[in-house]
Structure 1
Amino acid sequence: MIPSPLCPAFAARLTPLHLMQNFFGAIGRWYDRRTARFNRPGALRHAAWLAPLLFGALSLLLGQDNNWDLRNYHLYNAYALLNGRIGFDLSPGQWQSYFNPTLDLLYYGLNRALPAPLAGFAMGALHGLNFVLVLAIARLLLPAPDAADRHRLPLLLALAGTLGAGFLSELGNSMGDNMIALFVLASLYLVLRHWPRWRALDRGAVGWLALSGLVMGLGTGLKLTNATFALALCMALLTMGGSWWQRLRLSLVYGVAVLAGLAATAGHWFLRMWQTFGNPLFPQMNDLFRSPLALPVGVADTAHLPHGLAEALLWPFIFTLDGHRVSELVMRQLIWPVVYLLFIALALRLVAGRLRSAPAPASAPASAADADGRTRFVLVFFALGYVGWLKLFGIYRYLVPLELLAPLAVWLLLQRLCKPALARRAGAWVLTLCAIVVFPFSTWGHSGWTANGFSADDPGLPDPAHSLVYTAHGDPPMGWMATLLPPQVPVVALAGGFPESPAYLERIRAIAASRSGTHYVMLIGAANHEEITLEKKNLLVSWLGQTGSDAGCARLERMMKKVRFHVGVEMLAQPDGPRCRLELLPPYRMDLAARNLEVQQKAAQDLQRYGLHVRLDTCRVHRAAIGNEPYPYQLCEVGP
């Protein structure tokens, strides 16, 4: 038999490498076809309108915001500012009670003015504006890709940016990092949008640069963790083209504008803290300002910083493998090792080019030079922002502004490191994988919606104008409950993590002496959250018709033995009505009275060092809730 000349060629197509290339090529072509609809001029405009609405809808699906910081101080701080309680209360939200509440006013105001679901939608939609800004930045940095990607590429990169683990974890909630990212991205956009003006630095250019710095400063005043990005952008301006004096002027104009913005949103609070406590950052940095009402310590969270140089150099890999190093909440992500490796590769290429003393490239047209300058500027800003975060904080959620830009940074780095076709394929696959890994994403806590997001029963204090309420634990936080008590009652935190000084303890005694009525301690009440789901499960099986007959109950019992619902079937002896119901299994039941007594006894022990005695026989439990999740509280009388 004579072998066919086609056989070797056919066999070559069966090699693993060739099969893999065909497989990925087919998927790539399918992907191009499926996303072709995004490559129309109107697609970007429609996406810019629709994306915030979609993120608002996603916020609705997630439910009522119920994060720990909200319960501790976000709600309380805005309430305290608007109701003149600075100095009237004493740290109900622990030492965070004295953070600038200006940013929290938006969340507080929305929840006061709107039903809770509408407020949640509005917060999600506002956070969704980050998509619009990343889209606008991407369009400036990708001015002339090939026709197949002219409109599609910026849109997909903006989508990838908003599918980050940190951004999604805070969608629609009060924590502020998503909201502050709007200021960082808007400032960066203004610098890139008016890029050609910086060569001349005329009066118009100074105005636009000052506006950019002002926007960044406004965000920094609202949340001081933004200072790393303000400093990074200011330093990145020093790397632009032109003379050293021109670059210094750019940086100075921007920096002064940042300070003006910071003063606009934080100046009033710094002044109030200085006048009230003698420390504009009270109680932080009290080792410097020495306010008598707090110990002379720094009060800074350093638990999330890397330990030593080796960890710092490997930090993206470390916190990707062990998310608890940078967050209490574990977030799955791969984007940071990818972008870190690409930055290292670019740095090595630049060093190698310098060592080879390669000849300078021929001068490019002004448009190409502007595009290259913008790209270089963004990458420098990104790198400096990361280094600042690594040095000062190490807390993942403070990285949200850079996380939103990370897919764009990956794309820009690949374009500099690889040939265009390879960069396109690698970028598509890597960024798709990074987006998929995030799901299902974690959040900082939600409960079911109710019309009024925060509610509590009136404790019925007989003389609130002369009463006093203490709190005796920092976790679970009780700051939000201070907003629901009668407004005449001051709330004073004890044993809650505040760096108490002798003068602080003296202030507590002075407040107590001024209140001639009954004094109370407010404690968390026990709640079995399994009982909430039990009610829903009983409603469901009743609706399905499984509880009305012995046969249905038998089916239900067999089903419960096969699935882990934490419940079993309890037969009912009543002649009419349902024949059975679901009941919690023994491991998931809770003796609420015993749990409440444990909390009372712990509080009694802690309050002894303040010279206070808890009268355990007076403790009463009252209803409170965030959304549909119960957070009952106890009030117990205290005395000397």
Structure 2
Amino acid sequence: MRPRRKEILLIGSLGVLFSAVWAVSIGQDLGWDLRNYQYYSVYAWLHNRITYHIAPGQRQNWLNPLVYVPHYLLIQHAPSLIATAIFGAIAGLNFVLVYLLTRCVVSKGRYGMAVAISLLSASVGVADPVFVEVLGGISSDIIISIFVLAGLLALCQSHRPEINSRARSVGYGLCGLFLGMACGLKLTAFVYIVGLTLTLVVLAPVLQFGHRRFAVYAMGGIFGFLLTGGYWSWFLWDQYSNPIFPYFNSVFQSPWAAPESLRDDRFLPQTVEAAISYPFQWFVGLHTTNENQFYDARFALLAVLLPMVLLALASDRVARRRNALEGRSYEQPLVGRDHFWLIVLFFLTSYVVWIVVFAIQHYLIPASLISGLVLLLTLDRLFATTASKVAVFTSLALFSMVWGKSFPSQRLPYHKDWFGVELTPAVSEPNTLFVMLGDVPDSYVVPFLPDSDRFVRISGNFPLQPRTGLRQMAREIINQHTGPIRSLTSGTLGSFDRLQLDRFGLDLSETGCGTFRSRIDQFTSCPLALRPPPPILAVDPRSQMILWNAPDETIARVYVQKDSDPKVLYAEGSQGDEQETWIVPGHRFVFELVGWDGAREGPLIATATIDEQGNVSSQTFGGGTVPAPDEQAPGRSGDK
């Protein structure tokens, strides 16, 4: 029985209202992702600052900001409590979609029973501990899940018995459209595209999923992706030669970043046994796939019940024949065959893809939301009577909701200003270049500083690597800046931060440091002074010194030739300075600095020659001339 219009309106209103109230009760979100990139990325996109600043949001700086635009606008223009309520109401659409999906596939039984088990199914879904953890916050995962569920609902709706062939094809197109839109907004949603596509291929003979419907489904997916992610992918390709920059740059080889995949593999299981144990670890509160602790019984129940139902279905035909021969009645299941296999296989394949590729709990939210429905489907095949199915499902559903527990972090009381940034005069001077340090999420402060300021992050989870376009761009910005240069951090400077400052030729003066606060962080900003660049290659017969600094920390070799003797290797390394008593007038010396990658030598970088009279001439081959030592500005050459 199809849901009535008044029923949809009532359930939808209750679901959205309940989620809004629940979100408000948790508190205002000031989580890591919001402070690191979610707020800043929209600001940078809308104010044309993506390529003006360098990586304030670390490696997440270049994720598609479109999904966060509503959150940004509400934070900017609405009181924090109202914004949180709206965030919660949007998340409540997931409850409505799971309810409608359950009502769509439950084709047998009384109307009241269908409504009750659909409510339970949706309630089990939104009781997902990680869903609750991000409820009312700025999370893309609970937005992506809306599109995934909408696609699954469109597909299941098209496989109802009363739907004709043409309408069924339209359902496939809508399904592809919604999943494509999800993937365009956040690429991690490809887990569900792969899961559903594999499911459709496996079930092609049963679902009559032929070439034409595959084409409609694929075209819908492509159009959906282009609609939400096409522009952003083109922008990244145009600017950085990588449509998903900086990720998987080992494949795209963009010159702007190091050839790394930047894959987050912190939670991936190391063995098959570990992967199988994950649901049971979640049951006892071991958060093997999430930063915060949580308890979740649903996947442990399904890990036991799904193998049981597959075994039961394997012997189902034999049982049916025996019952028919003996004249026994066989009660029809609540959910039809097509819907059963479609949802169960989609759930299983998506879960397998997820645990192989990511194993990050937030990315599992769309599958978690249908866990109650999958639980119902397994019990529908395991128990013979409707009464027993409903009774066991109700018991397990209630147990799952009671057992599940989340521990939301970084929630604060509501305030008239979401971030509460309070600037001081020291950091409010226009045309300041801020060099951001550390891996603490603090890009959210950028929009509160003067528009003429510029920001370059040189450390964090995306340190600017040598011989990359972003590294070179950062160096040029720092060297050419005419206004004040200051550090900016909300954490403690580590040894790597200081090393990065040294590599960029910056000295930090702790005597002129100042602090300012937001609601959750204290920022420190200190003056930075640009040191004169050290020589690439220089020798001085008077002090008998040789100094070398390979460009941008490249590895190099130094060769020396005395008079007409053969050229010999003198030293190798990025930087060095040595005093040698044999560098004296009366002999001719030729020093060469040659690039070296550890396997073979590269181009000649620089030469320095001393004639018999002690006159020095130097030359670089990458552009420009190296002055003689007495013309060079003093500066550190770095560690040998």
Structure 1 and Structure 2 fold alike (TM over 0.5):
yes
Partner of 2:454 in structure 1? 490
C-alpha deviations, 1:155-186, integer Å up to 9, x for none? Answer: 12212211111211110111211111110111
Q: Which has the higher strand share?
A: 2
The answer to whether residue 353 in structure 2 is matched with residue 388 in structure 1 is yes
Unaligned runs of 5+ in 1: 1-38, 526-597
- 1:166 touches 1:403 (CA, 8 Å); kept in 2? no
Q: What is the SS of the residue equivalent to 1:633?
A: strand
Does residue 429 (structure 1) correspond to residue 319 (structure 2)? The answer is: no
**Contact 1:463–1:517 at 8 Å: present in 2 too?**
no
Flag the 1:433–1:196 CA change in 2: closer, same or farther, 3 A: closer
Of the three residues 83, 106, 116, the one matched with 1:152 is 116
| 8 Å Cα contact 2:23-2:85 kept in structure 1 | yes
- Native 8 Å contact 1:103 1:176 kept in 2: yes
Return the TM-score normalized by structure 2.
Answer: 0.76
Counterpart amino acid of 2:451?
Answer: P
Alpha-carbon separation, structure 2, partners of 1:492 and 1:259: 35
Which residue is 2:172 aligned to?
209
Aligned counterparts of 1:298 and 1:402: Cα–Cα separation in 2 = 26
Deviation at 1:372, TM superposition (A): 2.5
Partners of 1:602 and 1:225 lie apart in 2 by 31
Inter-partner Cα distance in structure 2 for 1:50 and 1:493: 45
**Over aligned residue pairs, what C-alpha RMSD do you find?**
3.0
Alpha-carbon separation, structure 1, partners of 2:334 and 2:129: 34
Residues 45-99 of structure 1: CA distance to partner in whole angstroms, max 9, x if unpaired?
A: 4232122112112211211111111111101111110010111100001111011
CA distance in 1, matches of 2:515, 2:118: 55
2-structure distance, mates of 1:264, 1:326: 31
Residue of structure 2 equivalent to 1:518: 484
Contact 1:301–1:393 (CA<8 Å) still a contact in 2?
yes
User: If each structure's helix is expressed as a fraction of its own residues, which one has the higher value?
Assistant: 1
CA deviation after TM superposition for structure 1 residue 611, in Å: 2.1
Distance 1:322 1:116, change over 3 A: closer
Q: 2:368 aligns with which of 403, 415, 420?
A: 403
Of structures 1 and 2, the one scoring higher in RCO (CA 8 A, sep 6+) is 1
Find the aligned partners of 2:71 and 2:12 in 1 and give their Cα distance.
23
Partner of 1:296: 259
128 and 63 in structure 1: CA distance in 2 versus 1, 3 angstrom threshold: same
Instruction: Describe the shift of the 1:244–1:399 C-alpha distance in structure 2 as closer, same or farther (beyond 3 A).
Output: closer
CA distance in 2, matches of 1:487, 1:438: 46
Conserved in 1, the CA contact under 8 Å of 2:335 and 2:377? Answer: no
Q: Of residues 278, 297, 309 in structure 2, which corresponds to 1:334? A: 297
Q: Does 1:373 align with 2:334?
A: no
CA separation of 1:382/1:360 partners in 2, compared to 1, >3 Å: closer, same or farther? farther
Secondary structure of the corresponding residue to residue 149 of structure 1 = helix
Q: Give the conservation status (yes or no) of the 8 Å contact 2:107–2:334.
A: no
Could you tell me how far apart the structure 1 residues matched to 2:479 and 2:217 are? 51
**Alignment partners' CA distance in 2, 1:370 and 1:356:** 19
Matched, 1:635 2:598: no
Q: 1:605 to 1:370 in 2, by over 3 A?
A: closer
Aligned with 1:123 (options 87, 91, 96): 87
Residue 316 (1) aligns with residue 279 (2): yes
Q: 1:247 maps to which residue? A: 210
Inter-partner Cα distance in structure 2 for 1:360 and 1:491: 75
Q: Match for residue 34 of structure 2?
A: 70
Alignment correspondent of 2:415? 450
Q: Which amino acid aligns with 1:391?
A: V
Shift of 1:624: 1.8
The one of 57, 66, 70 aligned to 1:102: 66
Judged with a 3 Å threshold, the aligned counterparts in structure 2 of structure 1 residues 282 and 387 are, in CA distance, closer, same or farther, namely same
In the alignment, the residues of structure 2 paired with residue 243 and residue 54 of structure 1 have an alpha-carbon distance, to the nearest angstrom, of 39
Deviates more, 1:441-450 or 1:89-98: 441-450
State yes or no: 1:135 paired with 2:92. Answer: no
Distance 1:309 1:198, change over 3 A: farther
| Structure 1 residue 604 displacement after superposition | 4.3
Instruction: Indicate the residue corresponding to 1:276 in structure 2.
Output: 239
Deviation at 1:141, TM superposition (A): 1.7
Sort the Cα spacing of 1:253 and 1:602 in 2 relative to 1 into closer, same or farther, 3 A.
closer
The structure having more radius of gyration, on CA atoms, is 2
Deviation track 1:474-509 (CA, whole Å, cap 9, x = no partner) reads 1x2111112221121111112212153322322111
Distance in 2 separating the partners of 1:62 and 1:312: 32
The answer to whether 1:623 aligns with 2:517 is yes
Match of 1:505 among 471, 483, 495: 471
Does the Cα contact within 8 Å between 1:234 and 1:251 map onto a contact in 2? no
Alignment-derived partner of residue 585 in structure 1: none
Match of 2:20, as an amino acid?
G
Q: TM-score when scaled to structure 1?
A: 0.76
Range that drifts further, 350-359 or 145-154: 350-359
Tell whether the 8 Å contact from 1:287 to 1:298 is kept in structure 2 after alignment.
yes
Deviates more, 1:160-169 or 1:423-432: 423-432
Q: Report which stretch shifted further, 418-427 or 515-524.
A: 418-427
> What residue in structure 1 maps to residue 311 of structure 2?
348
Segments of structure 2 that go 5 or more residues without pairing to the other structure are 531-640
The SS at the match of 2:113 is: coil
Letter of the structure 1 residue corresponding to residue 249 of structure 2: N
Structure 1, residues 579-616: CA drift from partner, whole Å, max 9, x if none?
Answer: xxxxxxxxxxxxxxxxxxx6499854652233211110
CA distance in 1, matches of 2:232, 2:371: 33
Q: Tell me what 2:132 maps to.
A: 168
Q: Tell me the percent identity.
A: 25
SS state at 1:238 partner? helix
Q: Distance in 2 between matches of 1:71 and 1:382?
A: 33
* Higher mean displacement: 419-428 or 273-282: 419-428
Q: 1:511 to 1:327 in 2, by over 3 A?
A: same
Distance in 1 between the 2:160 and 2:390 partners? 28
CA distance in 2, matches of 1:191, 1:42: 23
Please give the alpha-carbon distance, in whole angstroms, between the structure 2 residues aligned to 1:198 and 1:234: 24
Are residues 1:46 and 2:10 paired? yes
Q: Which amino acid aligns with 2:343?
A: V
**Stretch of structure 1 that moved more, 302-311 or 98-107:** 302-311
Displacement of 1:464 after TM fit? Answer: 4.9
What does the per-residue CA deviation read over 1:88-144, in whole Å, with 9 as the maximum and x for residues that have no partner? 100001111011111111110111121121111100000011111111011112233
User: CA–CA distance in 2 between the matches of 1:124 and 1:637?
Assistant: 42
Change (3 A) 1:191 1:442: same
Query: Relative to structure 1, is the Cα distance of residues 73 and 353 closer, same or farther in structure 2, using a 3 angstrom cutoff?
Result: same
CA distance in 2, matches of 1:521, 1:102: 30
Provide closer, same or farther for how the CA distance between residues 230 and 470 of structure 1 changes in structure 2, counting only shifts above 3 A. same
Change (3 A) 1:152 1:196: closer
Task: Write the distance in 1 (CA, Å) between the matches of 2:202 and 2:410.
Answer: 42
Question: For 1:158 and 1:383, how far apart are their aligned partners in 2?
Answer: 19
SS of residue paired to 1:454? coil
Structure-2 change in CA distance of 1:409 and 1:319 (3 Å): same
